[in-house]
A and B are shown apart, each in its own frame.
Chain A
Amino acid sequence: MAGGEFPAVTDRVTQDGIDAYAEISGDFNPLHVDPQAAAASEFGGIIAHGPIALHAFFRSATTWLGSDALPPGSAVKVTYRAPTRPGDDVTCEVREQRYAGGDGATEVDAECVKQDETVVVSIKAVLTQP
Chain B
Amino acid sequence: MSGTAGDTPALSNIAYDDLVVGERMGPYTETVSHDMAARLAGPIGEPQDVDAVPPAAYPILFLKALRRSMGGIPAGSVLAKQELEFHGVLAPGSDVSIVTWVGDKQVRRERPFVTIEFDIRDAGDRQIVTGRKIIVWPTGPSEESV
Give chain A's interface residues, CB within 8 Å of chain B.
Answer: 11-12, 16-17, 19-21, 24-29, 50-52, 54-55, 58-59, 61-62, 67-80
Contacts and interface: CB of A to CB of B under 8 A. Distances in A.
Contact of B84 (A71, A73, A75): A75
B86 A71 contact: yes
Nearest to A28: B10
Interface string B75-89: 000111111111111
A55 B46 CA distance: 13
Interface stretch (B13-21, B59-67, B98-106, B108-116): B59-67
B26 interface: no
Contact of B56 (A51, A72, A77): A51
A79 B84 CA distance: 12
Interface in B29-77: 36-37, 39-45, 50-56, 59-60, 63-64, 67, 72-73
Contact of B52 (A11, A20, A67, A79): A67
Given A27-B10, A62-B55, A17 B89 contact: no
B5 to A, nearest CB: 8
A78 B82 contact: yes
Contacts of A20: 39, 44-45
B55 A70 contact: yes
Q: Which of B52, B67, B79, B86 has the most CB of A within 10 A?
A: B86
A11 B54 contact: no
Contacts of B84: 75-76
